[in-house]
Amino acid sequence: MAGEETETRTVENPTAQNPAVDTRRTPPTRAWATRLVVVGIVLSALNLRPAITSLGALLEEVRDGLGMSGSVAGLLTSVPPLCFAVFGVTAPRLARRFGPAAVVCAGMAAITAGLLIRPYAGGTAGFLAASALTLMGIAVSNVLMPVIVKRWYPDRVGSMTGLYSMALALGTSVAAAVTVPLTDALGGSWQSGLAVWAALAAAAVLPWLPLVRERGTETAPDRGHAPVRAARDRQAPLRITRSRTAWALAVFFGLQATAAYITMGWMAQIFRDSGVPAGTAGLLLAVTMVMGVPLAFVIPRVATRLPHQGPIVLLLGVCGLAGYAGLYFAPAAGAWAWAVLLGVSNCAFPLALTMVGMRARTGPGVVQLSAFAQSTGYLISIPGPLLVGVLYQQSGGWGVPIALMAGLMLPQMAVGFLAGRDRIVEDEAAAR
């Protein structure tokens, strides 16, 4: 026993018998690096949706300018979740080889390049290829943002996830709101209106550049156990598909993404078809999106203080059911209330990100869980907006599509409740 105790003390404090080891391999934490990570997280989050929402605002002009057919334009609405699913899978391998900070830095550079190239690509094929480059950068950054938070701020997962989610919601709503006025201010060219967002993406590259060299020290804030963590992180990848919690979280992520993309794509049209003026319908959609700004900061902080996040899942689901019921029975009469309720329900996204950080114990575990949950989830979300459009066309109204949206909320609540249990995916993967 004495020998075991001595060995334990040596592992936990490797400087006890050889102080030089720690100073050579794990340099002390620099306060500027910690602050720089915060800036990088916020700027990166701001860039994770403008490429999508700015295009939505100018889709008619883009179609006319490139001579796109209606089917190709419809394909554009399904490209983001498809790219998120396909490219997000590569994030864990890239992070293991180059480090999460370097991959996020490259992701921001890819977003910048894609946003600059696609308006001037000269044709539909080039536009789609440049869009794919942009979405590739978004996909790997989507997966690795929770990993960055977990590694640099392991004791502040809730507050930092809230900050990241709030910045993401802010970027989404601002791009949707200002792209058209900004385009008009730049002379009315849709190319300029899309390309201008590359400046924001370029700014997001800068904070990560000094951190690329920190590949081996991304757990810097918890320096005392760095050798233990490094040894643990070199373990073989988890068999993540053996974890029931991972599957529950992936399905929850997919269903909430389905609801979010349906809302972004169709809610304004639902209001317009019920007699709401087009300008007001746009404002209602903006209200739904803006609800995510304050709540995305509050919900993760509350979630990390609870042993079980299921009650929050159920509360958000009830808000969604109430919003869909309103859209079904009185879409115009209570439009503002339904917009607020659906905005609250859409805050399942920051909750899902928070649970990714809470359901895994190690950095590599968070990487794998984030990649699995988001890639699988975005695959699940692809058919939703298309199916709503088909049902609307076939049924001649919004009754059946709204019933589908409400029906999908029930399994979302069920799997979200399961994902919210106090479980660790490393334990489940090892036990089965």
Half-sphere exposure of 246 (CA within 13 A, CB side): 25
Instruction: Identify the pLDDT of residue 214.
Output: 58
Q: What pTM does this model have?
A: 0.73
CA atoms within 13 A on the CB side of 410: 4
Q: In angstroms, rounded to a whole number, what is the distance separating the alpha carbons of residues 128 and 234?
A: 38
The CA distance from 104 to 86, in Å, is 17
CA 311 from centre of chain? 22
Please report the pLDDT score of residue 77 as a whole number. Answer: 65
What pLDDT was estimated at residue 315? Answer: 97
Return all residues near 355 (Cβ < 8 A) that are at least 6 apart: 249, 303, 309, 419, 420
CA distances 238 to 179, 227, 374, Å, are 43, 20, 16
Helices within 58-99 (DSSP H only) = 59-66, 70-88, 91-98
Q: Output the pLDDT for position 396.
A: 86
CA distances from 210 to 8, 33, 101, 111, 238 (A): 35, 8, 9, 19, 31
How many Å apart are CA 372 and CA 363, to the nearest integer?
14
pLDDT in tens, the chain (432 residues): 444 333 333 333 433 444 433 333 333 356 778 888 999 999 999 999 889 888 877 877 887 888 876 556 656 766 788 888 888 888 888 988 888 999 999 999 999 999 999 999 888 889 989 999 999 999 999 889 888 888 888 888 888 888 888 898 888 888 877 888 888 898 889 999 999 999 999 999 999 998 886 554 444 444 444 444 444 444 556 788 889 999 999 999 999 999 988 887 788 878 888 998 877 877 788 788 888 888 888 898 899 899 899 999 999 999 999 999 999 999 999 999 999 999 999 999 889 988 998 999 887 888 889 889 988 998 998 888 878 878 888 888 899 999 999 999 999 999 999 999 999 998 888 765
Structure tokens at 390: 């088909």
pLDDT computed for residue 237 by the predictor: 67
Judge contact between 28 and 35, C-beta under 8 A. Answer: no
324: enclosing H helix or E strand: helix 310-329
What does the pLDDT read at residue 40? 93
Amino acid at site 408? L
175: which 2 tokens?
A: 């791009």
Residue 38: which region, alpha, beta or left (left: phi > 0; alpha: psi -120 to 50)? Answer: alpha
DSSP tag of 306: S
Contacts of 400 (CB under 8 A, 6+ apart): 391, 392, 394
203 and 322 Cβ atoms separated by less than 8 Å: no
